[in-house]
Structure formats: structure tokens, C-alpha cells
Amino acid sequence: MSKKKKVQAVVISQKMIAPDIYDLWLQTELAREANAGQFVGVYPNDKSHLLPRPISICQVERDKGALRLVYRLAGAGTGEFATWQPGQVAEVLGVLGNGFPVKEWTGKQIALLGGGIGIPPMLELARELKEQGDRPVIVVGYRDKDLFLCEELQGYGRVLIATQDGSVGVNGNVLDVMREENLSPEVMMACGPMPMLRAVKAFAAQRGVKAYLSLEERMACGVGACLGCVCKTVGKDHHSHVNNARICTEGPVFDAQEVDI
Amino acid sequence: MNTKVTIGGVEFKNPVLTASGTFGSGMEYSDFVDLNRLGGIITKGVANVPWEGNPVPRVAETYGGMLNAIGLQNPGICVFIERDLPFLEQYDTKKIVNVCGKSVEDYLDVVEKLGDTSVDMLEINVSCPNVKEGAIAFGQKADCLYDITSQIKKKAKQPVIMKLSPNVTDIAEMAKAAEAAGADGLSLINTLTGMKIDVHRRTFALANRTGGLSGPAIKPVAVRMVYQAAQAVKIPVIGMGGIATAEDAIEFLLAGASAVAVGAMNFVNPYTTVEILEGIEAYMRKYEVEDIGELIGGVR
């Protein structure tokens, strides 16, 4: 694994692509080492807000050294990020976390499931799968008709949509789509809110298929030192041997069978 | 220019250490910092057996600081000795182990197991606000602090630093109790007990409800307490609490600290420790300070 570092990145572009959803491209050397499912810590420039915000990687352009982050405006830190204009310098910590096991499942029937702000990492994941010749089914769940990244995802596989209010696609969530379409993938890779991830875990267990879940938790250091962002694990964790894995370091992507969520 | 400081007979090449719980056992920050440059590493708290810690959320940001209620998750002393200590032994830096426990016996168990190891110094955590039993219970009453300090001193083969809580009425009284019981030094401050409420969810930001406040927001409190403790005792003091820059570190030295530890700021800038070290050296050159000892307790 490459060395983690804190670097100065430069904003290439930013636009709002749905209400409170921002699409930010950064020029940074971190792009050379970034993979699907990993994340970076983005620091607010306002130093009354100290901690890096963990944001998943949505797209990587290694040759150009460009990293795309699609995030939700959720508070003061992301509120500041949303004001950034091209040329703005941003401090970024990365590359963090383990990422999805992309190569391991090549040639298999793969379903990607993204819910809400869990959708952005699915884009880079789908892109990396396409590079190795895989074409996943991509199931995405939104709150309402304000879709984002949906058209882009269509370039990498069959895209199925669920909305909570039924305005587009299936009325319900990504699991409702799985059932309605009678999908039976060999492996599922998911990112989204905790109730969705619990449902994906249960679905996978019931059908006896592999599932990988990308988890989220409040973090401080992002590098495995503070033990803030743990999740319950079925077996002894690697670090503390107490069934509490660090999401930032052992994760954020876990085999669904290994986490007790 | 001399940056060496001596605490409890242990000589540190410089006074910049890492505060317990913010730096693991050094491994996680070795990508960022050449650990050889640090005066010492104070490890995450280690108990006699593994502790699983508190439920999440365990951390929350506050204005100029953060709250944590990790609950001293740690793998226990056996894993520490087998895994973390050999890692630390690769580096030319002093190894200070932060020891935690729920009972005096727990502490003594860890202290005895570390007796014949390469560990340079012990920091006794009697000040964690986030665990229900032990820890802070020993650090908020002078007679309890005296008792545990003297019992540990009887068993310890390394110098003993007592890490004090700021959540007390009179820090000087606590400092004196630890000194009277034979402590070789003091470190302070641990975090200040705090609370944050999420107004949107109408719930506590931390699962533990309360947590320990750290970061630049607490620095003036820490400087005041380090000054008061240093004035009250003759044993050396390690100062910590919101140190972000070399100027912050020098403030603590002038207040009476013989060394400083960087805590929450490691999360904000993983290069903080080395930048502070370089800043202290630049300050010494600028003001023609030959020996860092000239700064220690320089303001009375």
C-alpha cells in the first residue's frame, strides 16, 4: 500500500449536480494511487473546524492527476467546501482505506448497489470493472427525482433506479429493485446508509452470495490512530483484538459476513 | 544549541512528545513522521487485558476542538509487548507507555509486566473521563491519587509519571499528592469533560453522552494548570493540551513544563510534531537560547 500523506490540492472545477450534492474535481498527486472504494480526508480551511472530512472517491484520472469527489453538504465543513472555486487550494489527507476487491471478482456477475451519497464510489468502481472487462448491474437508490451520476453510470452497465417517493423507477429502495427484477448476482458491492447495508447483508446471507459493504462513521484521524470510527466485527479485529475494526483502516469496505451491523 | 531535557532520570533528545491516545504506538503516523526525530512517544493507554471501548459515535468536532469518548479501546499488555514494543524498539526515541486500569491491581499487573522490557517510562492514566470504572476515579481525589501512586511506585522499575485530570477543583493539591507519593513527574492536562448535542437529531453527539474535550480550544486552561502544577511541585511536568505550533509548545515550557506532548493536532496535521520541533529550534536561534533549560519555567 502506498504511503499516506497530507497534500495541497487545487480545485479544478466544482458544480452542484442535485440539491446539496456537489461535484468537485481536485488536482492532486493522490490521484495516482487512488482506487475505487477508498477515500480522502478533506480539511476545511476555516481552522475552527479542525478535522478532515472523510469523502469517498467518485472518479480517478491517474494520468491527469485528477480526483473527483461528489459529496453532500451536511454541515459547516462541507458547507465551506461548497463555496470553493477553481484555483482554491485545499488540504487533503490520503489515500485512505482499503477499497473494493475489484480484481478478485472479475468474470463474475457483479451487482453494485449505491444509496444516496453512497452512489459516488460506485462510479469509480464501475469504471475499474469496465477496464477489466466486467459489466455489472448497477442499482441506485435516490430520495426523489433529483438524480445524480445516473447517466454516467449507464456507460458501465445496466442501471436500475429506485426512489423513495416513486417518482423515478421502482418505488422503494435498492433491495426492492433486486427483488422486483429477480436479480441473482454472484457478488454484491454496496455503499449507502446503514439500514440499506443491513438489508444488503441480510439479502446476501439469505441467497448465499458474497457481499462487500462500504461503511461510514464519525472519524477523527482517518489513519487508524484515534480508534474513533470502529464497527463491530464477528471475529477478533486485527488491531485491538476486541471485535472492533477501524473503518478508516481495516475498512471502509468489509466482507458483509465479517461485520456485525 | 542543546534541546535535551531530563525527566525522572530519562534523557530526551528534545522535548517534543506525542500525547497518549492520539498517536497509537507510532505505527499509524510513521508514514508521515520520522519517529526517530521525536523526543518520545507516549502510547495509547494499555490495560492488563483487551478493552473494547465505548459504542460509536465516539468523536465529535467542536469549535476549535473535538470531543472523544473512545473508552480506552486497547489490545491489552500482552499484545502490546509482542507487537507494538518491537515496532517502537526500531526507533531512536523514548518509549513511554500510558497505563490504564479499572482497579489498582489492573494497573499493577501492567506495571509489573512492563518491568523487564525496554520501556523507558510509565505514564499512569488516572484521568480518562470516558470509562465508568477506574481511571479518573483515582485522579480526582488527592488521597486516592496518593494511594495508587505509592502502590505503583513500589512495583515500577521505570520512572512513573502521573497523568492528571483537569476536572478537579485544585490542580496544585493533586500535583502535591502525586509528588508526596513518590511520582517522578506529572503530565497534564488530560481532556476536559464536555458534551455536544445534535440539535437536528435531538440526541447526544456521542454515544457516551459526555466526552473529553481536546484541541486548541483548551490550550489556555492547560497552560494555566501546567503553571499552577509546576509552581506547586519540584518534580518535572510534561505539558499538553491543544498544542498546535512551536509558539504553543514554548508557552508550556515557559509556564514550567520540561517537555510537551502533541495530541489532537496530530489529527489536524500529521506533521505537527516535527514542525513544532523545527519551530522550537528556530525560536532558540532567533533569541540565542543556548540551552532549552533556559526556557523551562522562564515565566514566574
pLDDT in tens, B106-153: 999 999 999 999 999 999 999 877 776 666 778 889 999 999 999 999
CA distance A224 to chain B (A): 6
Distance from CA of A132 to the nearest CA of B (A): 31
Chain A residues near residue B70 by CB distance under 8 angstroms: 226-228
Tell me how far CA of residue A37 lies from CA of A114, A125, A127, A180, B162, in angstroms. 12, 7, 12, 27, 43
pLDDT value at residue B127? 83
Using the beta-carbon criterion (under 8 Å), do A49 and B270 form an inter-chain contact?
A: no
ipTM of the complex: 0.95
Q: Hey, is the C-beta of B219 within 8 angstroms of any chain A C-beta?
A: no
> By the CB < 8 Å criterion, does B267 face chain A?
yes
Q: Does B2 touch chain A (CB under 8 A)?
A: no
Identify all chain B residues contacting A43, using CB atoms and an 8 Å cutoff: 268
Q: List residues of A whose CB lies inside 8 A of any B CB.
A: 3-6, 43, 47-52, 77, 93, 217-231, 239-244, 249
β-bridge partners, A96: A39
Q: What is the mean pLDDT of chain A?
A: 97
CA A107 – CA B113 distance, rounded (Å): 52
Q: Is B120 left (phi over 0), alpha (psi -120 to 50) or beta?
A: alpha
Of all residues in chain A, the percent with pLDDT exceeding 90 is: 98
Residue A55 above 70 pLDDT?
A: yes
**pLDDT at residue A189, as a whole number:** 98
Nearest to B237 by CA among B247, B224, B246: B224
Q: How far is A258 from chain B (nearest CA, A)?
A: 17
Alpha-carbon Rg for chain A in angstroms: 17
Q: Whats the size of chain A, residue-wise? A: 261
* Structure confidence at residue A204 as a pLDDT band (50, 70, 90): very high
Q: Is B128 a catalytic residue?
A: yes
Task: Note whether B87 contacts A: Cβ–Cβ < 8 A.
Answer: no
Does A48 contact B63 at a Cβ distance shorter than 8 Å?
yes
Beta strand residue intervals within B38-102, DSSP E: 40-42, 59-62, 65-68, 94-99
Closest CA in chain B for residue A45: B268
Count of alpha carbons within 13 Å of B265, Cβ hemisphere only? 25
pLDDT value of residue A63: 95
Nearest CA in chain B to A77: B61
Is B65 an 8 Å CB contact of chain A?
yes
DSSP letter at A115 equals E
Mean pLDDT score, A152-163: 98
Each residue's pLDDT, cut to its tens digit, for chain B (300 residues) gives 999 999 999 999 999 999 999 999 999 999 999 999 999 999 999 999 999 999 999 999 999 999 999 999 999 999 999 999 999 999 999 999 999 999 999 999 999 999 999 999 999 999 877 776 666 778 889 999 999 999 999 999 999 999 999 999 999 999 999 999 999 999 999 999 999 999 999 999 999 999 999 999 999 999 999 999 999 999 999 999 999 999 999 999 999 999 999 999 999 999 999 999 999 999 999 999 999 999 999 998
Q: Which of A225, A240, A244 sits opposite B22 (nearest CB)?
A: A225
Identity of the residue in A3, A48, A226 whose CB atom sits nearest the CB atom of B59: A226
Q: H or E stretch including B249?
A: helix B246-255
Q: Please write the tens of the pLDDT for every residue from A168-200.
A: 999 999 999 999 999 999 999 999 999 999 999
Q: How near does any CA of chain A get to the CA of B117, in Å? A: 21
The two counts, helices (H) then strands (E), for chain A are 5, 16
- Please indicate, yes or no, whether the overall pTM of this predicted structure exceeds 0.90: yes
What distance in Å separates the CA atoms of residue B248 and residue B254, rounded to the nearest whole number?
Answer: 10
Shortest distance between the Cα of A15 and any Cα of chain B, in A, equals 26
Distance from CA of A243 to the nearest CA of B (A): 8
CB pairs under 8 A between A and B: 113
Closest partner residue to A230 among B22, B61, B73, by Cβ?
Answer: B73
Query: What is the reported pLDDT for A1?
Result: 61
Q: Given an 8 Å threshold on Cβ–Cβ distance, is A230 in contact with B58?
A: yes
Chain A residue numbers with beta carbons less than 8 Å from the beta carbon of B63 are 48
**pLDDT computed for residue B132 by the predictor:** 67
Among A95, A145, A134, residue whose Cα is nearest residue A112:
A134
- Over residues A18-23, mean pLDDT: 98
pLDDT for A238 equals: 85
Give the confidence band of A2 by pLDDT, cuts at 50, 70, 90. Answer: confident
pLDDT grade, residue A46 (50/70/90)?
A: very high
B residues 21-60 lying closer than 8 A (beta carbon) to A: 21-24, 28-29, 31-32, 44, 50-53, 56-60
Identify all chain B residues contacting A93, using CB atoms and an 8 Å cutoff: 270
A33 vs B contacts (CB less than 8 Å): none
In A, minimum Cα distance to B80 occurs at A240
Nearest residue in chain A measured CA to CA from B271:
A6
Chain-chain contact of B58 with A43 (C-beta, under 8 angstroms): no
What's the confidence (pLDDT) of residue B133? 64
How far is CA B173 from each of CA A37, B143, B212, B288, rounded to the nearest angstrom?
52, 10, 22, 36
Name the residue among A29, A22, A35 with its Cα closest to residue A8: A29
